[in-house]
Amino acid sequence: MIEDARLIPPGTCLEADLCIVGGGAAAISLALGYMKSGRSVILVPGGGPHQTASCIDLYRGKVDPPGSHEPLEENRLRMWGGTTTVWGGRCVPFDPIDFEARPWVPGSGWPIGRDELKDYIAQANELSEAGEADFDARSVFPETQTELLRGFDNENIVTWPLERWSIPTDYSKRYRADLEAASNLRVLLHANATHLQMDSSGTTLRHVKAACRPGKVFQINAKNTVIACGALENTRLLLAARDILTEGIGNKHDLVGRYYQSHCFGVCGYAVLKDPFKDFIYDFEKDQAGVYCRRRFWLTPEAQKKHQVSNVVGFFVRAVSGESEHRNAMVSLVLLVKTLLGGAKKGPKRLSQIVRAQRRELLTHLGIVLKDGPSIFRQVAAVVYTRYFQKRRLPMVLPSKKANFFPLFFQTEHAPLWGSRVMLDDSSVDDFGMPRLKVNIRFSEVDYRTIRTFVSLFKQRIEESGIGTFHLSEKDKEYLAHPERRSFNSNAHHIGTTRMAVTADAGVVDVNCKVHGVENLYVAGSSVFPTSSHANPTLMIIALALRLADHLKSKD
Ligand SMILES: Cc1cc2nc3c(=O)[nH]c(=O)nc-3n(C[C@H](O)[C@H](O)[C@H](O)COP(=O)(O)OP(=O)(O)OC[C@H]3O[C@@H](n4cnc5c(N)ncnc54)[C@H](O)[C@@H]3O)c2cc1C
């Protein structure tokens, strides 16, 4: 059942076997997995089917130092469906090496291995409508060449690993009918958890306080509760419950909010190929079920070990800079539209300033667009159709090979650091009186070494194989010398703040995602990941949520 919680009278006590706090991929997957048991579930999604200004405000917080992270209300959707309402759909599992304790990556090592998650990864892929959980181009596309660039792969970098793309599935829409039809499940739209109430011993969660409007509180008494609110809000709920445990729940060892990770991303350098039209699988490929897949450059575990670096992948992307050297009509058109529309939004005076300041560059872009003539309009029409009018959306538009300009995007693991942290900001509260968050994200030498090593091995390989050349602009060189200076955006990858460990002095949750020291409180989401891999987090979030559903079903 899906109902409007605004109709629940304040003071009401609701009962259930399981209370799930959150309404995103983690919460919905968990509900889908658990509700088959026939036991009762109440799901508190933290919002309704649309984002509202007051929901956005609930996510505001502080970034310390200012500008070192995107504003906390960006990249997160406080609503039913959570961030799956806007996600891109890239599905990538963690690699076996991600679970290993690697002496050169401080804080690495999971208490479970990848094998234990194999079946759950397959189920997560299915729920995300991303096809079979086969991420190896050699078996998915046996008829085509195995490498992204023929002759490229060596002991350092291989290109058979695939990423798969979800539709992208909006979990709140895709599974609405199933949730609506389940008589043992109640989704309380518009309800927010405002407090986790422990019993006086501090070892059992007594109830969850919830409200749709400030002051109109009702409560949910459940045998077990799972918080699945994203890594930042999971931390906030635990830390803000200080009435019984003054340090917050699960925080006896000062670990809640620590080891905050994301990924290091960026574009650095570009390749020029000897022949971009030969032996080069550049575009998305569709598997037998019609799922978009793409090959990536992956630094092998052997190379990671040899060079003492973290896990990392790369792929070619469209040019993101405003520089016209790429000579690609589509990219130039996008840049022209963005610059002129952006300026126009700020008023005619600002627009004319922008045009005057960037006149030469804008004219060059216009020339590139006009030179491509009618073909650009055909390209635009094709892009609009495949991106917006098909059920399965083309993940992204790659510029034509004609420009022979292939910028290299990298995405690296972010090594966990005790000092990289999400805390409460006691100087400010939200509408429900909950303290807001403050984040202080940090990176270390292993992160920077990983970027430099990957770029350098990539350049070395593409040139020694004779496939092409690789070029670094002055800006790229400056970046590689001082990666810490580039501004950071998490791209919604918030990881590690309630890490999993066997013992309470090493992590916040145990191997079953139960908060150490608390009988009946669990955590779902990327906050439990001890390390971040290079992989986008959602597939693993869903896999772990499904595993948790099985654990809870076996518990009582
Ligand atoms: C533009 C964009 C593109 C992305 N693309 C990809 C991609 O291609 N691949 C990938 O793997 N990931 C991608 N992501 C990230 C991905 O969306 C998230 O990793 C994933 O959705 C997280 O799921 P979650 O359920 O853990 O958290 P969320 O989706 O953040 O959901 C949290 C839920 O908790 C609720 N909540 C919060 N506080 C409370 C409270 N106090 N009480 C009750 N409920 C509460 C919220 O309303 C929400 O429903 C993308 C993100 C963005 C923004």
Q: Is 46 in the pocket of ligand 1 (CB under 6 A)?
A: yes
pLDDT of residue 322: 56
First-to-last CA distance in the chain? 23
pLDDT of residue 455: 98
Q: Give the three-class secondary structure for 174.
A: helix
Ligand 1 center to 330 CA (angstroms): 31
| Residue nearest to ligand 1 atom 48, measured at CA | 82
| Residue nearest to ligand 1 atom 3, measured at CA | 87
Q: Give the three-class secondary structure for 440.
A: strand
% of the chain at pLDDT higher than 90: 83
The two three-digit tokens of residue 270, written as one number: 């570009």
The two three-digit tokens of residue 424, written as one number: 């409460």
What is the overall mean pLDDT for the chain?
Answer: 94
Q: Give the three-class secondary structure for 341.
A: helix
The two three-digit tokens of residue 203, written as one number: 């070892």
**Cβ contact 319:328 at 8 Å:** yes
Q: Mean pLDDT across the stretch 278-299?
A: 96
pLDDT over threshold 80, residue 379: no
Nearest atom in ligand 1 to the alpha carbon of residue 525 is: 26
pLDDT over threshold 80, residue 526: yes
Q: Give the three-class secondary structure for 56.
A: helix
Q: Mean pLDDT across the stretch 398-416?
A: 91
- Return the best residue to mutate from 2, 83, 522 for the ligand 1 pocket (most ligand atoms within 8 A of CB): 83
Nearest atom in ligand 1 to the alpha carbon of residue 539 is: 11
pTM to 2 decimal places: 0.92
What are the residue boundaries of the structural domains of the chain, listed by start? 2-130+166-262+414-441+488-555
| Count of Cβ atoms closer than 10 Å to residue 64 Cβ | 15
pLDDT band at 372 (very low <50, low <70, confident <90, very high): confident
pLDDT over threshold 90, residue 389: no
Q: Is 35 in the pocket of ligand 1 (CB under 6 A)?
A: no
Nearest atom in ligand 1 to the alpha carbon of residue 90 is: 8
Residue holding tokens 């189920």? 123
pLDDT band at 320 (very low <50, low <70, confident <90, very high): low
| Residue nearest to ligand 1 atom 43, measured at CA | 46
pLDDT over threshold 90, residue 556: no
pLDDT band at 508 (very low <50, low <70, confident <90, very high): very high
Ligand 1 center to 25 CA (angstroms): 7
Q: Is 26 in the pocket of ligand 1 (CB under 6 A)?
A: yes
pLDDT of residue 326: 60
Identify the CATH class of 2-130+166-262+414-441+488-555.
alpha beta
**Cβ contact 408:319 at 8 Å:** no
Q: Amino acid identity of 15? A: E
